[in-house]
Amino acid sequence: MRPARQLPSNPQLRASARDTSQETQAWSLLQALARAAARGEALCERVALAPSVGQGLQVSSESSAFVVVRPDLPCGWSSPQALDPSTRELLDLYMPLCVGPRSATLVVAHLGQSADGHTAALSSTNKFITGSADILHNHRLRALCDVVLVGASTVEIDDPLLTTRLVSGRSPVRVVVDPNRRLQRQYAVFRDRAARTIVAHVAGRAPAPALPSHVESMSVRRAGACMDLRDLLAQLRARGLSRVFIEGGAVTIAHFLRAGLLDRLQLAVAPLRLGPKPCPPSPAPGPGELAELCRRVRRFHLGEDVLFDGEL
């Protein structure tokens, strides 16, 4: 096992994101399918589609199609063309998130962890456990969803931007779950105005700290000692935000998992060990538990990391 890796510079990440022509067509098609699903127009039956970059969905004959949408298949697609391996991998990974009846109200969570179950590295200089391919994957998930959601602790520890800096596509609405209204205004998601930002808190809490005026507040019902996550999702959908990507952290993901609100759970495992301290093990399931929870688990290689994609 190697030591924890540091985040490469943005130019390196952008280089890894450069697509071939087929990849560009596939990525544009996936974004168009995701937008259609968000509008309530998800493709739920077999449809042949022509290649299109930035022009939406164009129906084609199957013999000349770039991709045939196949919600009946685990990968969600087939093609009469000889697509290159990287394009096939792109479609295999993301097509099931963009088609089929569950894609209209998709809730997908992603967690990166070390081989010994830690989701945070030992210091702020080594906090990125998974590599550049998984970081790029997170940006793609953001681009395919209406919302990227994180818990307050993730904002405190990582101070993330939560934008689509590394891929083409619009940045999603950023939702920070801060039940007790403890976060102050110094964090990037509150300062940069790079995307619409909402802070969700439990109804009846004390007045919030003085956040910038453009940051929206969402009051969510209490459920026992916790926030009612069903009410949270219902309020987002009432705002037209139906496809939700939960990026972290492990505790937030575990709450959604226990509430039975996840459609898919993705776990990226990096080949490194961080040891027993100071990081507690992740409350989210490991690969073995994921297989027991899910009716179907797929495996992908993201650089040196292994991504397990589970359909719940």
Tell me, what CATH number does 193's domain have? 3.40.430.10
Note whether 88 and 144 are same-domain residues: no
In a domain, 1, yes or no: no
Q: Which of 290, 293, 236 is nearest to 268 (CA)?
A: 290
Q: Of the candidates 101, 125, 151, which is a domain's last residue?
A: 101
Q: pLDDT at position 120, please?
A: 62
Question: What pLDDT is recorded for position 206?
Answer: 67
pTM here is 0.89
* Residue 6 pLDDT > 90: no
Domain co-membership, 58 together with 160: no
* CA pair distance 224, 294, nearest whole angstrom: 27
C-alpha 110/C-alpha 281 separation (Å) is 16
First to last CA, the chain: 31
Using CA atoms, how far apart are residues 263 and 109, in angstroms rounded to an integer? 8
pLDDT tens string 141-200:
999 999 999 999 999 999 999 999 999 999 999 999 999 999 999 999 999 999 999 999
State the sign of the Cα–Cα–Cα–Cα dihedral 235, 237, 239, 242: positive
282, part of any domain: yes
Whether residue 56 is found in the same domain as residue 128: no
Rounded Cα–Cα distance for residues 35 and 180 (Å): 33
Assess whether 54 and 169 both reside in one domain: no
| Residue 128 confidence (pLDDT) | 76
Q: In the structure encoding, which two tokens stand for residue 275, read together? A: 């040891």
Residues 69 and 117 in one domain: no
Q: Give the sign of the dihedral formed by CA 238, CA 241, CA 243, CA 245.
A: negative
The whole-number pLDDT of residue 123 equals: 43
Separation CA 202–CA 65 (nearest Å): 49
How far apart CA 13 and CA 53 sit, in angstroms, is: 22
Per-residue pLDDT reduced to its tens digit, 254-271: 999 999 999 999 999 999
Burial 207-225, CB ≥16 within 10 A → b, else e: ebeebeeebeebebeeeee
Span 288-304, pLDDT tens digits:
777 777 778 999 999 99
The torsion region of residue 148 among left (phi > 0), alpha (psi -120 to 50) and beta comes to beta
Same domain, 81 and 141: no
> Per-residue confidence at 85, pLDDT binned at 50, 70, 90?
very high
Last residue of a domain, one of 50, 80, 101: 101
DSSP class per residue in 250-268: HHHHHHHHHTT--SEEEEE
**Two structure tokens written together for 72:** 């009946």
Summarize the confidence of residues 230-248 as an average pLDDT.
97
Same domain? 112 vs 235? yes
Of 101, 135, 158, which one is at a domain's C-terminal end?
101
Within a domain: residue 112? yes
* Residues whose CB is less than 8 angstroms from the CB of residue 53 and which lie 6 or more positions away in sequence, other chains included: 24, 25, 28
Closest CA to 264 of 26, 95, 77, 18: 95
pLDDT score at 282: 66
Peptide bond connecting 11 to the previous residue in cis, omega within 30 degrees of 0 = no
pLDDT at position 14, please?
42
Q: How many CA atoms lie within 13 A of 33 on its CB side?
A: 35
Q: 35: helix, coil or strand? A: helix
Indicate if the pLDDT at residue 8 is higher than 50: no
Q: Where in the sequence is the domain holding 264, given as residue range(s)?
A: 106-311
